[in-house]
Amino acid sequence: MNPYIEIIRPGNALMGAISIILVALIDKTISVPVVLAMAAVFFETAAGNTINDYFDYKIDLINKPERPIPSGRISLKNGRNYAYLLFLAGTVCGFLISYLTNNWIPFAIVLIADVVLYLYAYKLKSTPLIGNLAVAFMTGFGFVFGGFSINNPSIIMTSIFLGFFAFVMTAAREIIKDIEDIEGDKADGARTLPIIIGTKIPAVIATVLIIVDSALCPLLYFQHIFGILYLVIIAIAVVLFLYSAFMIMKSQDEQTAGKASKYLKIGMLIAFVAFALGSF
């Protein structure tokens, strides 16, 4: 694979654009701003992945030497400049959306994303809990960005709810992943929440977040945003969410945390399917 394609993690970048697709499906619309929003999320995610590899260069020399920068297929300087170019492309897309819709919130969101993604790679990633929240924030922000790009008041409110759902559940999963990776993180000198205060309290925090999100899920049906099909499908996701919470509260060993994280990821994918199909 071309190193300049490999470094952006194209699958990961395309997954980021799913939030825009889901919001567009709910509004049953396709437009130039929607396409630009998908491109913006793709470029911003790609930029975040690239700048992350730039700052992780020394760590990756030891842990992941096959990656484009540590392997020498992309120089450190070119990696940094490539990240800046991707950030610029995402920012231009955000500007065009705001220009076309006469709504400057999407442009502001992209500018905020530029700052958060850069700071995450540079500093926040190694900051206890703040790093987890930064990842969750960017995941939820995708939905909100989609809503404001469509610029429909009712869709904006729905996108904010979906963004909050994604933020809370992603934060829970990131905390559980830190529990799973505690031994490796210790070896790398990381200072995650489980390393600093132990695994029990982070497990409780993750469980509370999961329960809150699970309790909120039916509201989208009772508020008549989604139909009965949403309620049926989201019930499956909620079962997986709660089972993950039960698992991590029962045991915080690496294997259990890995399974809980996996079930949360599957549950979130099912929830996204519920969002999409529930809009019809």
Same domain, 157 and 277: yes
Sequence-distant (≥ 6) Cβ neighbours of residue 62 within 8 angstroms: none
Q: How many CB atoms lie within 10 A of CB 191?
A: 12
| Helical H segments across the chain, by residue range | 3-6, 10-16, 18-27, 32-55, 57-63, 76-101, 105-122, 130-150, 153-180, 182-188, 193-197, 200-216, 219-222, 228-250, 254-278
Give the CATH number for residue 178: 1.20.120
Domain assignment of residue 202, given as a range: 153-280
End residue of a domain, out of 123, 151, 179: 151
Phi, psi of 192 (to 5 degrees): -80, 165
| Matching residue, tokens 């913006």 | 40
Same domain, 105 and 130: yes
Nearest residue to 140 via CA among 270, 16, 24, 237:
16
Same domain, 159 and 88: no
Same domain, 259 and 121: no
Sequence-distant (≥ 6) Cβ neighbours of residue 255 within 8 angstroms: none
Same domain, 138 and 277: no
CA distance 53 to 60: 8
Nearest residue to 142 via CA among 219, 213, 265, 42:
42
Same domain, 164 and 198: yes
CA distance 230 to 161: 15
End residue of a domain, out of 102, 129, 151: 151
End residue of a domain, out of 127, 151, 175: 151
Residue-wise pLDDT tens for the chain (280 aa)? 788 999 998 887 887 788 898 888 888 888 899 999 999 999 999 999 999 889 888 777 776 788 898 888 988 999 999 999 999 999 999 999 999 999 999 999 999 999 999 998 888 877 788 888 888 888 888 899 999 999 888 888 888 888 898 899 999 998 998 888 787 677 666 778 888 888 899 999 999 999 999 998 888 888 777 888 999 999 999 999 999 999 999 999 888 998 999 999 899 889 988 888 887 7
CA distance 41 to 53: 18
